Amino acid sequence: MNPQLVFGESKIFHGCDYNPEQWLDYPEILEKDLALMQEAGCNIVSIGIFSWAKLEPEEGKFDFSWLDMIIEKLHAHGVKVILATPSGARPAWLDLKYPEVLRMTEDRQTRLHGHRQNHCLTSPVYREKVKIINTKLAERYAHHPAVVSWHISNEFGGYCHCPLCQKAFRRFLKERYGTLEKLNHAWWSTFWSHTYTDWDQIESPSKNLGEWCVHGLNLDFRRFSTAQCMDFCKAEIDTVKPFNPDLPVTTNFMEFFYDYDYFEFAKILDYTCWDSYPEWHVYEDPEYIASYTAMNHDLMRSLKQKPFVLMEHTVSCTNWRPLSRLKKPGMEKLSCLQAVAHGADSIQGFQWRKSRGSSEKFHGAIIDHVGHLNTRVGREVKELGGILQRLGEVAGTEVRAQAALVLDTQNRWALDDAQGPRNAGLHYLEVCLDYYHELWRRGVAVDVIDETCPLDKYKLVIAPMTYMIRGDYGQRVENFVKNGGVYVSTFWSGIVDENDLCFLGGFPGPLRQVLGIWDEEIECLDEGEQVKVISDTALSPELWGSYQGSLLCALVHPESAQTLAQYDSDFYRGMSAVTRNIYGMGRAYYVATRLDRSFLDNFVRILVDGLDLTRELSHPIAGVSAMARYSDTKKFLFIGNYSAEAKTVGLKGEYYDLINEQTRSGNLTLMPYGSAVLSCPL
Amino acid sequence: MNPQLVFGESKIFHGCDYNPEQWLDYPEILEKDLALMQEAGCNIVSIGIFSWAKLEPEEGKFDFSWLDMIIEKLHAHGVKVILATPSGARPAWLDLKYPEVLRMTEDRQTRLHGHRQNHCLTSPVYREKVKIINTKLAERYAHHPAVVSWHISNEFGGYCHCPLCQKAFRRFLKERYGTLEKLNHAWWSTFWSHTYTDWDQIESPSKNLGEWCVHGLNLDFRRFSTAQCMDFCKAEIDTVKPFNPDLPVTTNFMEFFYDYDYFEFAKILDYTCWDSYPEWHVYEDPEYIASYTAMNHDLMRSLKQKPFVLMEHTVSCTNWRPLSRLKKPGMEKLSCLQAVAHGADSIQGFQWRKSRGSSEKFHGAIIDHVGHLNTRVGREVKELGGILQRLGEVAGTEVRAQAALVLDTQNRWALDDAQGPRNAGLHYLEVCLDYYHELWRRGVAVDVIDETCPLDKYKLVIAPMTYMIRGDYGQRVENFVKNGGVYVSTFWSGIVDENDLCFLGGFPGPLRQVLGIWDEEIECLDEGEQVKVISDTALSPELWGSYQGSLLCALVHPESAQTLAQYDSDFYRGMSAVTRNIYGMGRAYYVATRLDRSFLDNFVRILVDGLDLTRELSHPIAGVSAMARYSDTKKFLFIGNYSAEAKTVGLKGEYYDLINEQTRSGNLTLMPYGSAVLSCPL
Amino acid sequence: MNPQLVFGESKIFHGCDYNPEQWLDYPEILEKDLALMQEAGCNIVSIGIFSWAKLEPEEGKFDFSWLDMIIEKLHAHGVKVILATPSGARPAWLDLKYPEVLRMTEDRQTRLHGHRQNHCLTSPVYREKVKIINTKLAERYAHHPAVVSWHISNEFGGYCHCPLCQKAFRRFLKERYGTLEKLNHAWWSTFWSHTYTDWDQIESPSKNLGEWCVHGLNLDFRRFSTAQCMDFCKAEIDTVKPFNPDLPVTTNFMEFFYDYDYFEFAKILDYTCWDSYPEWHVYEDPEYIASYTAMNHDLMRSLKQKPFVLMEHTVSCTNWRPLSRLKKPGMEKLSCLQAVAHGADSIQGFQWRKSRGSSEKFHGAIIDHVGHLNTRVGREVKELGGILQRLGEVAGTEVRAQAALVLDTQNRWALDDAQGPRNAGLHYLEVCLDYYHELWRRGVAVDVIDETCPLDKYKLVIAPMTYMIRGDYGQRVENFVKNGGVYVSTFWSGIVDENDLCFLGGFPGPLRQVLGIWDEEIECLDEGEQVKVISDTALSPELWGSYQGSLLCALVHPESAQTLAQYDSDFYRGMSAVTRNIYGMGRAYYVATRLDRSFLDNFVRILVDGLDLTRELSHPIAGVSAMARYSDTKKFLFIGNYSAEAKTVGLKGEYYDLINEQTRSGNLTLMPYGSAVLSCPL
């Protein structure tokens, strides 16, 4: 295996967003920055993200002098540059002169100038203006030795409903469906007399003013918006890439994000990166946010099946949440090493220096308003910089996942949008996390994939709530199990096809045969309401016990499947709650309700043991995670303690402690929020 | 008495909304439908409700072939047809070509195409287009032997604020007031300098942008909207009726509905029908939703004082509430027989077959996506079909109410809109239900009327919170009591006249003499706050006890009335909380606060016993209801158990059990959610 | 000292808003009004507030006959008149003909006609029309012997975003900053590429559609709106004042109000007045609302450092809150005497007679719909009228405050708008009240000032959360302490300058030296979350104890200050929680978190004792307040019992009881909600 080095060097990079244009009036501060970066061990920065107004203060009048100066300085100090295209926020002159670039809301109001990420991505004028500035940047910097990557725009997101987008949406639909007849069938538009007889009758969804009940329309508008944003991003890439085809491009994704389908989007990028802002110290259960964040890291890595970049995180606190919690001592190191453990090869913070004014002046930054690094936060950042320098070998190594979690964005759009069976909330992400968490706490590596991804490389695939069966997914699940795979499905699976049309003839539709059950109907429980589920030695000696189900209860009839546990409440007492179907050489499980932790602990332990999956902890330790990366010759083990108490982990064999540069064996004690990085030969 | 047969046959009909236009691409499914209807005992369907786009796919181009085919098939299988006019949802071409038909919101935004029930009911273009399609339908089907009724539009509702409606509103006001001087007085517009000096200055209310504090304006806009919707509906009736004057017309009302005054609206219909979607199994107290639903059924019957149609209900669950609860086994039968008990002569579900896609694909239906009746729900529907076939004798029989509850829509509009005395909520419906419930649980039949209805046919009239005294209501209450009636009034009664202008000279205004009290001021309690109310043997031996009041406390001075209970809290300790005034040959009670169940149980028992009202249960049994319908020769007794436990009811005398076709006497045990229909000669 | 008599007479006036234009159709009622006013002891009324439509029913057509008649009647009965300009609500003809006068919302929607206080204050047309009617009024009534003051408009408030206001805003900014360069720096606009390159690019803030994250823009828009409203009000004053320069002008302020900076606004008025609607009897702790209201009274007095007018209050209940609570017996007297105690020399209610219809028909009034004074409320109003007649000596006397609370509107705007450190709520007012309350319950007189006010007249200045240091405030604090003053600061102080730009080099910026600490970072706590704070004899023998902190925890390092208490929780255990810095001849305290009542009780007691501040109670008594006013020769002591229990206060020396007209000494017992007014020679 060749290590997949994101910026070509065997190095875990350390850096941040750097916005020197805010400080051009303060030359003494710009001067200090470089020395402070060296003190903090920062060797990479993203620049230019919001620089358009400084680079092109008037239409067609450019000023690169300050950027030249900054890049030269960085280069002189050995700091690498990820250069952003500035399309994330428009200069005011552009909005004033070309109002078509302003996004239109779902309520059909044209936005005013201001804020950011709120342009019409269809507007030809906007695309043209972006192309001009991007061309200038690429001409000037694509071959600069400090520049290692393009950072296309910033945190793409949101939908536009302007007339230009309406037209583009209709074009998208024409391409997708060919005829209105097919569109009408897919959208089941006869319902409520919604049949379209002219393409121009189609309008994007509008909750307050127009149509929002045609699920196919809503779904296709989300698909269109992904496609339109990708098209915009692709146009940016096509502008800058020809100047230096070796320079990789990316755009920064966000926490498992709703607006676009990242599995599609990632296809046009050279590598993925994301902005991660977990709510550390807000939840009482520290494992919750730790495993949730891990799941997101795994998703980002799985998108391209290679190392990614943590493009933004905060070194202390955010300032846009209800509570601006400080990261407690140790947490900055712990959370950054967690990212590395899951595949990040560059750790970058937002931002270098706190703004003096405006929106993000109280967002955490490496350099606080006081202006030096001799702060609690500054000292921990310096320490982290030192540690990362000692992890060069980890760069480009892989995570070896034998298990996959299916977390499908289009499925999520569809099930959230469907009216029924529980408009109070289906909690798709939380149910996925239920299962992910059980693997995480055992140190089992997981890929987070969607329904379009290959399944055959895994031993275990857990796919909660696959309400929508896209394309040939059903067939591929059958093949996977037939060939010996273990597949876990749950309630609210196999209900609709790719167009959100229900399968006729019995749920779970294309999964009915592999799961060996018929899902007749589904009951919905109130917040806090529970049903009893029991298993006994006759049903399953391993799952013997009494559990609580919640959220939804599928009422299923086993066909070829065997019942492992059954309901013990209400009128469906005695019906199957958990089933297992032997299918070909594999097994397919079905869990009919949202079962509690006690069940999941048993259930996942049985699966992991049965398949003998690699796990980095012999048994779960509350608050502790262990994840590994592998080179051809070495294993790198990352252990983290997310709890406020010291924890002890027993090491099997001898390791080298890369942080403390010494060997380790036997019991390893981690302080509260402590972390360890160990290596051993394979 | 001639039985009042809604569709001319001595039959309790069984059916549903049937939307075959959704399945025209699936001929095999259309084929199966008829056989399945026979299996389910369905003998009536509503069709065409959302068919406009299929009937007139282009402006002026009509296609009735599919509807001909469907109606012929239904007829051939003996299924009757309620034919809808399709004005409930517009075809897309209409909106695109004639934007004036689109409704305008209170914020003066024109809606986009989409959804349903959102046209401007004033628009001449819309009325014209509706007239054309309705004429075509009437020409073609008014004499078809399968067609038994017109279903005008669908679930009329909502308000339009477009310029056309503004003009129509001003015309309505000119007619109502004649001069601006009178309007200004009625609206008390001098307040805040709001005097109108030109009719064109008047705009419909707008909470966010304009006027919303002139209560008279708000009230008149609601009255206008009722009138305008009735005018629209009348125009539809006038189009179809001439083709066959014998065909009855209706439109489907909704759960005690806020937008329009149904007591006015019912006047232009031949019979009433409604769409009933109670939240069974959501509330902990199963009696609450059962008696609330019963109150609504009674309202629908009282509107025209004759049997009504249950036009829609769900056989399993809705899909538009926060929780899609399944009806538990037995509940479909129980809830449908409840409707019959209160006067329904046709029981129809929404809908026949679950849609494959779009908004209501997860709304309960008789045929689920699996496509047959061999489901839990399908089997219960079939059973119900069989039962209804055995209830033919019940059709056209009457409910004999000796008690009436006054539940006045215009009063409700006015008291909800008034600022003060408790903007956090006056809970008018709940207070009405407090009293209704006490009658319901004793099996006392109740008419639900408004202030315009005759009082003299009742022995007991309970009229909570008659804040607004409309027309000669005060005079009629005086006459009613003078002639021996028993009248119950509560706090927040007799405050304003029909224009929402306060009575001067002392509340409760026109009720002051008959109630014999002066209501000086009103205190308002917080959520959960209570005041103590006591009665002793000196005040009232029958009401002796200690109770809790809540919500509002009128502070009244008895004039000719006698105090039966008094406050025992706060600065008004010792003031009257319940009074009785002997007036002519009758009695008038006043309850000054919202008293608890323990008081209401005592109080209503005393009233019912004192008047010797017919009651179908000798004493209340938790969760059990008993209601009767009467022909000239027979009594039909409907008993239902709304609880999750078996219940036993002692029968007096011998009955014939119409469900099980056997005689019954002594103790009758009802399973959870069980029901019984018994008959005996009079 | 000359008494500062607001209306020129040694009298505490008693009156109300009088809106006779609502009753012109009811001559018998107008007739009765004067007799009832005499019965109630009313000797002053505000009239004409909403009379425009009656005074100018058509553009340019005036009718003063009714107002002549009313003023003559009032004069004949010795009732003084505060004459309002009618600009608070527009006649309908004005809106219809000149739509530019309609305010535009933040979402850029033009409002419709209706409601009140919703004009564009920039509109030249509106200003012209107001000038015309005001000129007519002034010509006619400025020298009428009954008229004692002008009441300019009514309850000014709100912001307009129309094109006229956008232009005016840009003019304001040009004047403030001179160049865009300076504006860009002050707004830190380089952030997110927001640099302005043309004044026309600037738009007022818009949360939904445009810019709302540039704190400097938001802040300046509030400043502009204060300036624009003052300019409008000044134009009104300049119209009426020349007709009789001796007639004082005011406008009615509201409960510590957010839209405008009253410290600026008060400068153009002759005296201040306000509309006070406390939520008596809603909070469980009766002291809370009593001291909160007292703080507002003190603010109104402090604005011009002289007696003010209570322009509106309700004699019984409001009707625009969630709950319309009645004032309990005694509360009307108690709350009105509270206002006098804090400096009010005229006590006026809203309104004289309850409207028959429209929005405020259920708002408390002196004359209820019943039409006479023989009501619980009427009797108490009459009693109050009698008492006020006996307080003539109090008029024009002063409150002698040795302590000041800094409660700065511009600071409040800025800290509420800033994103971070606790978007869930910073509770500025509540924290200010924490400290005010401790002074109030000891009977210590307090001025409520802002950062622009002189500090040197006080012994003690408490300034919580001075996030923004405006102008030379930091320097003035240093001088104050240097010269012997005691200054109390808290967490979240000294963060930004007047433009909301952070101080560089270490917080609390300009207060760092006087407080002797460096504030490194700030932790934010969740609702209900607490940290332990301890002091022991080593730290401070007087503050010895264990306390709870909440809300925010500044993590500070003492520089020259001494630690009096420290944190005993979390990673900052052992850091300073309370410090004291000896600076010059004074002391400066810093309280790093929101400490509990037990701490504040100790802390404020120590401060008050240490400075030997005058206090009217020797020790706090739950629910009881004592405040004094002073003439050159006498002290007037107002004691009030805000609790539902009788309370006893020990009097030192002999007093004259002005209510009961007898001498008093020893123990004085106050009934629930009872009050006493005592005098003694100085």
Q: How confident is the model at residue A256 (pLDDT cuts 50, 70, 90)?
A: low
Instruction: Measure the CA–CA gap between A17 and A83, rounded to whole angstroms.
Output: 10
Tell me which residue of B442, B436, B441, B465 sits closest to B593, measured CA to CA. B465
Q: Give the pLDDT score at A3.
A: 76
Q: Under 8 Å CB-to-CB from C612, ≥6 apart: which residues?
A: none
Q: Give the pLDDT score at C4.
A: 87
The encoded tokens of residue C531 equal 């940290």
Active-site hit among B21, B56, B155, B287:
B155
Name the neighbours of A, counting chains with at least 3 Cβ pairs within 8 A. B, C
Select the more confidently predicted residue: C3 or C394: C394
Q: Under 8 Å CB-to-CB from A375, ≥6 apart: which residues?
A: A368, C520, C521
Instruction: Measure the CA–CA gap between A524 and B320, rounded to whole angstroms.
Output: 13
Dihedral sign (CA C385, C386, C392, C396): negative
Q: Do B369 and A503 touch (CB under 8 A)?
A: yes
Q: Give the pLDDT score at A130.
A: 98
Q: Do B212 and C114 touch (CB under 8 A)?
A: yes
How many whole angstroms from its chain centre is CA C367?
28
Q: How confident is the model at residue C257 (pLDDT cuts 50, 70, 90)?
A: confident
Selecting from C24, C86, C354 the residue whose C-beta is nearest the C-beta of B193 gives: C86
Measured CA to CA in angstroms, residue B184 lies from A126, B174, B467, C59 at distances of: 54, 12, 22, 19
Q: Give the pLDDT score at A257.
A: 76
Q: Do B521 and C375 touch (CB under 8 A)?
A: yes
Q: Do B203 and C112 touch (CB under 8 A)?
A: yes
**Given the DSSP bridges, would you call strands B147-151 and B249-250 parallel, antiparallel or unpaired?**
parallel
Q: Domain A624-681 is of which CATH architecture?
A: Sandwich (2.60)
Q: Give the nearest chain C residue to B208 (CA atoms).
A: C111
Q: Do C356 and B504 touch (CB under 8 A)?
A: yes
Q: Is A1's pLDDT higher than 60?
A: no
- DSSP state at residue B104: B
pLDDT in tens, A42-56: 999 999 999 999 999
Percent of chain A with pLDDT over 70: 100
Instruction: Measure the CA–CA gap between A334 and C492, rounded to whole angstroms.
Output: 29
Partners of residue B524 in chain C, C-beta under 8 Å = 317, 323-326
Q: Give the pLDDT score at B10.
A: 96
Active-site hit among C56, C236, C264, C312:
C312
Q: Give the pLDDT score at B283.
A: 84
Catalytic sites of A, residue numbers: 155, 312
Q: Under 8 Å CB-to-CB from C57, ≥6 apart: which residues?
A: B195, B197, C63, C91
Instruction: Measure the CA–CA gap between C518 and C556, rounded to whole angstroms.
Output: 5
| Local structure of B334: helix, strand or coil | helix
Tell me which residue of B398, B301, B306, B346 sits closest to B634, measured CA to CA. B398
Q: How confident is the model at residue A438 (pLDDT cuts 50, 70, 90)?
A: very high
Selecting from B194, B502, B521 the residue whose C-beta is nearest the C-beta of C356 gives: B502
pTM (two decimals): 0.97
Q: Map tokens 């694909």 to a residue.
A: B361
Tell me which residue of A381, A387, A395, A443 sits closest to A658, measured CA to CA. A387
pLDDT in tens, B407-431: 999 999 999 999 999 999 999 999 9
Task: Tell me yes or no: is domain C403-611 CATH 3.30.1950.10.
Answer: no
pLDDT in tens, B461-479: 999 999 999 999 999 999 9
Q: Under 8 Å CB-to-CB from C564, ≥6 apart: which residues?
A: C535, C539, C540, C543, C578, C579, C580, C589
Q: Give the pLDDT score at B242.
A: 98
Q: Is B12's pLDDT higher than 70?
A: yes
Q: Give the nearest chain C residue to A21 (CA atoms).
A: C190
> Helices marked H in A305-375 — which ranges?
331-341
Instruction: Measure the CA–CA gap between B252 and B264, rounded to whole angstroms.
Output: 14
Dihedral sign (CA C300, C306, C307, C309): negative
Partners of residue B506 in chain C, C-beta under 8 Å = 369-371
Instruction: Measure the CA–CA gap between C583 and B442, rounded to whole angstroms.
Output: 81
Of B154, B324, B376, which to mutate for an interface test with A (greatest number of A Cβ within 10 Å)?
B324
Active-site hit among C21, C56, C155, C264:
C155
Partners of residue B200 in chain C, C-beta under 8 Å = 96
Which CATH code for domain B43-271?
3.20.20.80
pLDDT in tens, C62-97: 999 999 999 999 999 999 999 999 999 999 999 999
pLDDT in tens, C572-618: 999 999 999 999 999 999 999 999 999 999 999 999 999 999 999 99
pLDDT in tens, B626-665: 999 999 999 999 999 999 999 999 999 999 999 999 999 9
Tell me which residue of B296, B289, B246 sits closest to B273, measured CA to CA. B296
Q: Do B324 and A187 touch (CB under 8 A)?
A: no
The encoded tokens of residue A31 equal 């001067």
CA dihedral A312, A313, A319, A325 (to 10 degrees): 170
Name the neighbours of C, counting chains with at least 3 Cβ pairs within 8 A. A, B
As to burial, measured by CB atoms within 10 angstroms (0-12 exposed, 13-18 middle, 19+ buried), residue C385 is: buried
Q: Do A523 and B326 touch (CB under 8 A)?
A: yes
Residue B565's DSSP bridge partners are B578
Q: Is A509's pLDDT higher than 80?
A: yes
Mean pLDDT across the stretch A469-490?
Answer: 98
Instruction: Measure the CA–CA gap between C122 and C100, rounded to whole angstroms.
Output: 10
- DSSP state at residue B21: G
Q: Give the nearest chain A residue to C181 (CA atoms).
A: A25
Instruction: Measure the CA–CA gap between A222 and A227, rounded to whole angstroms.
Output: 9
Q: Is B436's pLDDT higher than 80?
A: yes
pLDDT in tens, C136-173: 999 999 999 999 999 999 999 999 999 999 999 999 99
Mean pLDDT across the stretch C656-671?
Answer: 97
Q: Is C525's pLDDT higher than 70?
A: yes
Instruction: Measure the CA–CA gap between C175 and C168, rounded to whole angstroms.
Output: 11
Partners of residue B531 in chain C, C-beta under 8 Å = none
* B498/chain C closest Cα distance in angstroms: 11
Q: Give the pLDDT score at C617.
A: 95
Q: How confident is the model at residue C1 (pLDDT cuts 50, 70, 90)?
A: low
Q: Is C509's pLDDT higher than 70?
A: yes
Q: Give the pLDDT score at B126.
A: 98
Q: Map tokens 């509008």 to a residue.
A: A206
Q: Under 8 Å CB-to-CB from B619, ≥6 apart: which residues?
A: B442
Q: How confident is the model at residue B3 (pLDDT cuts 50, 70, 90)?
A: confident
**Which segment of A31-35, A280-284, A379-383, B636-640 scores lowest on mean pLDDT?**
A280-284
Q: Do C113 and B420 touch (CB under 8 A)?
A: no
Q: Give the pLDDT score at B257.
A: 76
Q: How confident is the model at residue B1 (pLDDT cuts 50, 70, 90)?
A: low
Spans of all domains in chain A = 403-611, 624-681
Return the H-helix or E-strand segment holding A186: helix A180-186
Domains A403-611 and A624-681 in one fold:
no
**Given the DSSP bridges, would you call strands C647-657 and C675-681 parallel, antiparallel or unpaired?**
antiparallel
Mean pLDDT across the stretch B137-147?
Answer: 98
Q: Map tokens 């002391």 to a residue.
A: C587
**Diameter over CA atoms, chain A:** 80
- For chain A, what is the mean pLDDT? 97
CA dihedral B225, B230, B232, B237 (to 10 degrees): 170
* B592/chain C closest Cα distance in angstroms: 16
ipTM: 0.96
pLDDT in tens, C264-295: 999 999 999 999 999 999 988 889 999 999 99
CA dihedral A661, A662, A667, A668 (to 10 degrees): -10
Partners of residue C199 in chain A, C-beta under 8 Å = none
Partners of residue B361 in chain A, C-beta under 8 Å = 188, 215, 418, 420, 502
DSSP H helix total and E strand total for chain C: 17, 25
Selecting from A190, A200, A505 the residue whose C-beta is nearest the C-beta of B370 gives: A505
Q: Do B92 and A196 touch (CB under 8 A)?
A: yes
* C560/chain A closest Cα distance in angstroms: 18
Q: Do A323 and C422 touch (CB under 8 A)?
A: yes
Of B219, B415, B419, B557, which to mutate for an interface test with C (greatest number of C Cβ within 10 Å)?
B419
The encoded tokens of residue C166 equal 């956008």
pLDDT in tens, C414-461: 999 999 999 999 999 999 999 999 999 999 999 999 999 999 999 999
* Contact in structure between B23 and B47 (CB atoms under 8 Å): no
